[in-house]
Chain A
């Protein structure tokens, strides 16, 4: 099944060593870029935010700026598989191990939508924002929600996805992954200028449609195994393809999801 086409007008990326999409495209790693800085947040909210919130705020700001969108009005969709799990483990530790009263400040940013709230506060955005999860299908889910928004409201929409590493002792046998955050601004089809056109597709077993993968698959070996294990890798792959002005088929999950594909066609620069 194919979903309606939209445009990509801006992207943002944070991975260790590459604090922006532009740095990623340039290809020279910055060893000092160990942790996301959260420069898009004001001082008060930067202190409130954890690493995930800081990374999501920064990639969102980069994508919005590239798209020329209005940060005060752009609807914002945040995706994360485990959200603020690390903050939650800290709260459980306070409760069960240290027997301390719970920190109200920590509790308020333990919610999955902490990042979307902080971003809306800092951008003074009084419009729609949401936060969602679908395990390894989170990038596809966030993009589908974004496509629905673009088509019904006719405005650009920000989609940003990220995950911190799963808490090691809790995740047990789950594969380890490295932190990753990326963002994309979707806009109505034929918006000009744009980086690329985007169509999502889902091959449904037993249905008439087959996933044709008509376009050559895109693959960037610079994403190492620790990044590929991150449930949000699909959006980063898409950001990478749009940045490189590539045309092809991008899987939106790392093999643990339902097999959504993004077909991306570069728009001439």
Chain B
């Protein structure tokens, strides 16, 4: 445990609304239906690739942004606009409660506008010219979409994009907790978004990290990840009638390797222990872990060791990446929403494609629906750079 975990610097925040989009659908109801049916969203890539892999592509195309937002209308920004629209009602209530400058926008992305840039660059290579519509500052930069969120939400508080690769969607929850605890904000729109990019797929292929079939987290023969796209937003408020609570967030580093996790999962363990310590919870208070569970040999083994050291009880551990794919910067936010769904709906989906389980994974990984009362759920996210985040979601 890190030194700072001895303090309890944050208080639970009310999640007064959330929205979600992934290969499973465009809203909460579609996700719930897919998870309950054990139906994966993974399938063939929507564009040609010189290698075989499965991806989790959005089953819908968010509409172009119009009017003054036209220049910002990347696929990423369009997905964000869709998510904001789905959060409209709780946002309206929040705007009535809090001053605009007391509502922050704290989000995460790893690809940012890379999808637009790679298409523009492809055109440049072919023709010697960038498309007239391409605008680096409004379409490529990590912060560009913040303008879209501010315009659509009316939030005028501090705004930034976290970009810590695959923990980017979980870390904004920690930022919001800090700023609200420090009296700097009353509410925040938080979450993570990423879109499918050719470059990302080629990059993970270069690392030999892609499975040829839909990913199989914790399976004995798993060979890697399936990349997905999507996003989730949560509206966090200082207090109020939350559907669930964000009780705490643990953040640590492996300080081990730029792209490989520590083989014993020490950083992952520290993140989980820090989340528990910040919330004043004991391991036995936790009912379920939504694992990072990417499907790579290294990640799943290391994470399983870490979870087994933290929890003596055989609590159910699942990976939902076999449904959505690894949505990179969106994963932490999407899986925090899945943690919320477990608490609200009282069921866990089967951990798809996990059977037969890797004998090194000494965890209870259910491969059929689990029903029960889940009061506290941990959601793990780990990333390049040895970046680890564990989010503790609680019942109100």
Contacts and interface: CB of A to CB of B under 8 A. Distances in A.
Interface in B201-255: 202-207, 251-255
A132 B253 contact: no
A96 to B, nearest CB: 5
Interface in A137-186: 137-138, 140-142, 144-145, 147-149, 151-155, 166, 169-172, 174
Interface stretch (A22-30, A123-131, A216-224, A234-242): A123-131
Interface stretch (B30-38, B57-65, B162-170): B162-170
Nearest to B162: A132
Contact of B101 (A75, A104, A202): A202
Contact of A126 (B175, B202, B252): B252
Interface stretch (A7-15, A57-65, A82-90, A190-198): A82-90
9 contacts: A82-B142, A112-B164, A121-B256, A124-B255, A130-B387, A134-B160, A144-B179, A151-B178, A172-B134
A230 interface: no
Contacts of B342: none
A92 B141 contact: no
A50 interface: no
B255 A48 contact: no
B347 interface: no
Nearest to B99: A207
Nearest to A150: B182
B183 interface: yes
Contacts of B204: 107
B203 A133 contact: no
B202 A114 contact: no
B385 A174 contact: no
Contacts of B270: 126
A92 B160 contact: no
Contact of A112 (B135, B142, B199): B142
Contacts of A148: 175, 178-179, 181-182, 184
Contacts of B7: 152-154
**A interface, size bucket:** 35 or more
A134 B143 CA distance: 4
A104 B207 contact: yes
A111 B206 CA distance: 15
A147 B182 contact: yes
Interface string B179-192: 10111100000000
B171 A174 contact: no
A128 B110 CA distance: 18
B141 to A, nearest CB: 6
Contacts of B110: 111-112
B100 interface: yes
A132 B156 contact: no
A4 B156 CA distance: 18
A82 B142 CA distance: 7
A13 B142 CA distance: 23
Contact of A101 (B3, B112, B182, B206): B206
Contact of B164 (A82, A130, A151): A130
A89 to B, nearest CB: 7
B305 interface: no
Contacts of B101: 1, 202, 204, 207
B16 interface: no
Contacts of B182: 4, 147-148, 151-152
Contact of A169 (B124, B199, B252, B385): B124
B156 A135 contact: no
A73 B5 CA distance: 12
Contacts of A81: 141-143
Contact of B251 (A118, A130, A204): A130
A132 B105 CA distance: 12
Nearest to B130: A172
Contacts of A48: 258
A135 B147 CA distance: 10
A117 B199 contact: no
A97 B252 contact: no
A-B pairs, top 9 by smallest CB distance, nearest first, are A117-B385, A133-B142, A152-B9, A112-B163, A107-B203, A148-B178, A141-B160, A135-B143, A151-B182
Given A169-B130, A204-B101, A152 B178 contact: yes
Contact of B161 (A123, A132, A149, A155): A132
B125 interface: yes
Contact of A102 (B120, B163, B203): B203
A155 B252 contact: no
A108 interface: yes
Most buried by A among B3, B254, B258: B258
B198 interface: yes
Nearest to B262: A126
A153 B248 CA distance: 13
A170 B117 contact: yes
Interface in A89-116: 89, 91-92, 95-97, 101-104, 107-114, 116
